[in-house]
Each structure stands twice: as C-alpha cells, then as structure tokens.
Amino acid sequence: MTTVMLDGEELTEAAATVSLTRKRIVIYGMNYAPELAGVGKYTGEIGEYLAAEGADVTVVTTPPHYPGWTVQPGFRNAYSRTMENGVKVLRTPLLLRAKMKGIWRLLAPLSFAVTSAPVVFWQIVRHRPATVFCVEPTLFAAPVAQLAAKLVGGRTVLHVQDLEVDAAFAVGHLGALGFLKKLGFAFERFTLKRFDKIITISNRMAEKLVEKGVAGEDVTIVRNWVDLSHIYPMTEESPYRAEQGFTKDDFVVLYSGNVGAKQGLTVLLDAAEQLRGEKNIHFVIAGEGPLKAELQARYGTLPNLRFLPFQPYARLNEFLNMADLHALPQDRGVADLVLPSKVAGMLASGKPILAMVENGTELGQFLKGVSIILPPGNVDALCQAVRAHIEHPEQRRNANDIRERSTHLSKVNIKLIGQCCM
C-alpha cells in the first residue's frame, strides 16, 4: 500500500480517507483549472477531488491566465459563474498586461483581492461553509475570507504553495522599496497567524512559516503530487522526437514549465549559446510566462534552441519522455522559498535530471542521488555536465531508480488535503 509522510508520521492511503459528504467548502485563490502549470493545476485537482468525495464545493478565482498573464481562449476577464466537474466556479476579473513586471506583479493580486472580496464574502456568509480553503498566492485576498468565516463559525485553512512576499523581493519584482518590504512582511505575519490550519509543500517553507509567527502545531506538510499512472518511463521512443525532427543521435535537453524570473532560465540559454557548434545537442524550452518574449528576442536565432508552448496534458508523458535530459534551473535568490512542481513529473518520467540548486537546500537534498546537482548560475559547469552525460552513458542512472523518488509525491496527497479540510 502506498504511504506518504504527514507531520513526520507515516500515513497509509486508507488512513487518509475522509468523509466529506454534504460538507460545504469554499476555495479561494487566484489560480484554478484549467491552468496547466503551477498552483492552478493543483488547486483544480483539490476542488474536483473534494467534490467527487461528496462535498459541496464553491471556488472563487480568476479567469485562467497563468503563466502567460493573458486570459486563455474561451474565457473573458469578467465576472462569470459555471459548473466545472461538479464544482461551482465563480470567476472575477483582475488587472493584466503583456509585461507583468515590477509594481504590476503587486497590482494583479491586489486587483483580484478587490474584485473578489464582495463575491467571497457573500458566498461564505450566505452558505456558511464548514471550511474556507485559501491558497497562497495570493495572501492579499485572505483577510476578507477570514472575517466572513469568523462571522459564520467556519474553519480557515491556508495552502501555501509559494512564500510570495519573500519571493517577490528575492527576485527583484518590487525593487528595493524598504517601506513596501516592511509593510508586506507585517501584513503577512498578521494574516498568517489568523488561520486555523496552514498546509505547505516543504519542510523549509514550514520552518519559515514558524519564523513568521505561526504556531508549529498549526502547520502541516503535504507535498505536491503527480499522477504516476499518467507519467511513467516509456519503453519505446517518444513519438515527439520524430515530430520535432530529432534523430536517435540527437541529444535533447528539455525545460518544461513557467518562463519567469524565479526559474533562472538565462543560464540554460547561455549554455545553449555556448554549445551551438555541437550539432547533436538541442535545447527545448516549453511553456509560457512573462519573460518568454524577451528570451525569444534574445536567443531565438540559436540553431540548437527552440521554444514551444505548453503541450496538452493528454500527451504530457510522451513529451517528458522526449528528453534525454531534463533541465531544472533556479534563481539562487528563491532557494527554499518555492518548490518547483515540475520536479514530480520529471522524476516520474524516469529521465535524468540536471538540477542547478544549492546542495544545502531542501530541493537539493531531495534530488541528491538521482540527479546531477550543479550550483546555480554556472554556465560552464552546465555545459560540461551535458557533455559528460553524452560521453559517459554508462554512468546514467536507471530510469526506475529515478522514478522511485517520485513515489513520495503520489496523488494520495490529495486525500491528505481533504483530511485537513475536516
């Protein structure tokens, strides 16, 4: 039977089963399905799981827009109400623009907090849910939900996917505005301490929450998950290789995910530029994000580099298996402030991973032994590691050994989220 870890104790799948029938739950967060990347994907799966277990689930969110920061086709940046896979979804507009940098990264979540406040307040006061489940990002919206929940006696739970205040200043989104930083951290401490329960996805993030004043007994660690029946090592060659024009002699380095500041992608693209003369090495960047246009303008003419959009989830396993090597760059400034969700899929595919992370970080420790670990930002080391991986195939780890690490990230973890909503 599959086991997972919850607050340091082993928990079986059977023990994680909970009764959610007729329980009313309001989920409040800026990102939701059908977003394929990051927080929206996981929150969408949580909402659908809770509904499938019999809960009456209402979601207050935005139109799907991440990571490209533009509303997806089929949706409008306006108020709407739909039923999606058994979940009532209420969407509210937010401020968006093509280049979401600087103060705009603050205005977008603030605009959601403003447009959604009356909607979430009314839903909570009218329907009196047993649990109000907030998601960070964005924390700006939480106080209204906390107030409404208190009025009706509801329990408040926060799912911390990203320590957004720390990360925003770490990668320079908000510059060096000292007063803004103090205000942000003061607001964060005030809001965090008023949740009944906080769930986060890593040990280090849990430690930081305690440092911010949250009681340790109120914090639970539930890691993000991957569907191991959907992502797995393929025994045959992925059809994506032929579709993209790659031969058996080509070596494909793949990055698939958000194209933003926290990902530190310039080191990977600088490596592509340095290796442009080695005809059999190819780099593929698949995804969307605020830096994609800028990176395409700067590196798009490289003959060994191609940019692709996100691929359909139905074909994600074939796409991940196209790679000879998965690349996981990361900005040094956000170490342990975010935990990339893409790691689970990489591991489940069984393909080798080259991770540019510090050894002492939680991500570095988790990937140790099943990945090539390099310091962030070192282009020469990255190029040498790619060459070494090609020249010494006998040193590559077995796909099953790599995949084994992903069993700690199974979909049983959704059941633990349900348990925290009780």
Q: What is the pLDDT of residue 306?
A: 96
Whether the per-residue pLDDT at 337 is higher than 70: the answer is no
Q: What is the pLDDT of residue 174?
A: 54
Average pLDDT along the chain: 88
Whether the per-residue pLDDT at 14 is higher than 90: the answer is no
Contact 111, 95 (CB under 8 A): yes
Q: Which domain holds residue 82?
A: 3-222
Q: Kindly give the pairing relationship between strand 9-12 and strand 3-6.
A: antiparallel
CA distance 223 to 411: 10
Contact 330, 262 (CB under 8 A): yes
83 lies in some domain: yes
> DSSP letter string over 171-184?
TTTTTT-HHHHHHH
Contact 210, 216 (CB under 8 A): yes
Count of helix runs (H) and strand runs (E) in the chain: 16, 16
Whether the per-residue pLDDT at 366 is higher than 90: the answer is no
Dihedral sign for Cα atoms in the order 264, 325, 227, 238: positive
Give the pLDDT mean for 137-155: 95
pLDDT top residue among 405 and 12: 405
- Residue 395's CB: how many other CB atoms inside 10 A? 10
Tokens representing residue 146 in the block: 């906390």
Q: What is the pLDDT of residue 1?
A: 26
22 lies in some domain: yes
For residue 19, which phi and psi values (nearest 5 degrees)?
-100, 110
187 with 265, same domain?
A: no
pLDDT top residue among 364 and 269: 269
Tokens representing residue 21 in the block: 């029938």
306 with 184, same domain?
A: no
Q: What angle do CA 168, 406, 220 make, to 5 degrees?
A: 55
Q: What is the pLDDT of residue 358?
A: 83
- At 261, the pLDDT band (50, 70, 90 cuts) reads confident
335 with 201, same domain?
A: no
231 lies in some domain: no
209 with 248, same domain?
A: no
133 lies in some domain: yes
Of 222, 251, 276, which residue is a domain's last?
222
Q: What is the pLDDT of residue 372?
A: 92
Lowest mean pLDDT among 47-51, 260-264, 327-331: 260-264
123 with 263, same domain?
A: no
Q: What is the pLDDT of residue 145?
A: 98
Of 222, 247, 271, which residue is a domain's last?
222
Q: Kindly give the pairing relationship between strand 87-91 and strand 80-84.
A: antiparallel
Q: Cα 419 vs. chain centroid, distance in angstroms?
A: 21
368 with 324, same domain?
A: yes
112 with 252, same domain?
A: no
Give the tens place of pLDDT for each residue, 72-126.
Answer: 999 999 999 999 999 999 999 999 987 766 677 778 889 999 999 999 999 999 9
Tokens representing residue 271 in the block: 């490596």
pLDDT top residue among 199 and 5: 199
Q: What is the pLDDT of residue 384?
A: 96
216 with 358, same domain?
A: no
What CATH number corresponds to the domain at position 380?
A: 3.40.50.2000
380 lies in some domain: yes
Q: What is the pLDDT of residue 176?
A: 54
- HSE (CB half, 13 Å, CA atoms) of 297? 5
Q: Give whole-number Cα distances, 64 to 12, 48, 87, 138, 314, in Å.
A: 34, 16, 15, 15, 19
233 lies in some domain: no
For residue 62, is the peptide bond before it cis, meaning its omega torsion is within 30 degrees of 0?
no
Bridge partners of 82?
Answer: 89
Give the tens place of pLDDT for each residue, 215-234.
Answer: 999 999 999 999 999 999 99
pLDDT top residue among 338 and 374: 374
Q: What is the pLDDT of residue 175?
A: 55
Give the position of tokens 């008023």.
194
pLDDT top residue among 64 and 204: 64
